[in-house]
Structures are given as structure tokens and as C-alpha cells.
């Protein structure tokens, strides 16, 4: 990813967990084209930190290590390192905790819209 979008942008996304919109991904060269918005996805989520379940120190440590590896490793090895880091995240409760928090956030937003 750093070779595709630059070190600074890759660090930003990896360290903050931020999501970016389609137009920004297109401008960065992360995607080649953007289709029309449809249905529930219309309007997008914009950008925001995505740590609704609170701090995730193990994930953060893996992210920081991954950034350093990406700077040194050839592309194929860097991709494999990213996959390994993702897999190791599931050795902890962090993914389930984060997913639960995100679902609670989505339910609360849906409840607010229903009112």
C-alpha cells in the first residue's frame, strides 16, 4: 500500500483505522474507478476513526510493526506480512469487541433515523 499511495497516507490509514471515501481513494490512485452510489450506501460514511470499541493495543502494535516492515520488504513479502498481521489479530478478542461496538453504533443510528 505505501508504494501505491505513499508512506504518509498508508501510515495515516493504518494508524488511525480511518476509512476514506470513494473520491479520495480515486484521487490517491487506490482505486481505478468509482461507480454510482446505490441504495443504503448512498452518501457514504465519509472519514472517521474506526475504533468504536475502544483502544486496541495489540492491533496498534501490529500496525506499527507492519509500517516498518512495509518500508523495508519487497512487495510480495510486504503483502504476506499484512496478511499475517491480519490473521494474528483474530488470536485476540479485539476483532469481536470492535465488531460488536460497530454493530451497536449502527443500531443506534438506525434507531435515531426511525424516530
In eight-state DSSP terms, residue 51 is -
Q: At 57, is the pLDDT very low, low, confident or very high (cuts 50, 70, 90)?
A: low
Percentage of the chain modeled with pLDDT above 90: 17
CB atoms within 10 A of CB 84: 13
CB atoms within 10 A of CB 1: 19
Reduce the DSSP state of residue 67 to 3 states and report it.
helix
Higher pLDDT, 108 or 88: 108
Sequence-separated (6 or more) residues with CB below 8 Å from residue 69: 78, 81
pLDDT for residue 78 is more than 60: yes
Q: What is the rounded CA–CA span in Å between residue 87 and residue 46?
A: 27
pLDDT for residue 6 is more than 50: yes
Q: What pLDDT does residue 26 have?
A: 92
Residue 91, φ and ψ in degrees, nearest 5 = -80, -5
Amino acid at each position: 500500500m505505501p508504494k501505491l499511495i505513499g508512506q504518509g497516507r498508508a501510515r495515516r490509514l493504518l494508524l488511525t483505522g480511518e476509512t476514506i471515501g470513494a473520491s479520495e481513494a480515486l484521487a490517491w490512485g487506490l482505486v481505478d474507478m468509482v461507480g454510482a452510489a446505490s441504495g443504503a450506501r448512498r452518501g457514504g460514511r465519509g472519514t472517521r476513526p474506526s475504533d468504536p470499541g475502544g483502544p486496541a493495543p495489540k492491533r496498534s502494535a501490529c500496525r506499527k510493526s507492519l509500517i516498518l516492515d512495509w518500508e523495508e520488504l519487497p512487495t510480495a513479502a510486504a503483502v504476506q506480512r499484512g496478511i499475517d498481521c491480519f490473521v494474528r489479530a483474530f488470536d485476540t478478542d479485539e476483532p469481536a469487541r470492535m465488531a460488536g461496538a460497530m454493530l451497536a453504533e449502527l443500531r443506534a443510528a438506525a434507531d435515531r433515523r426511525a424516530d
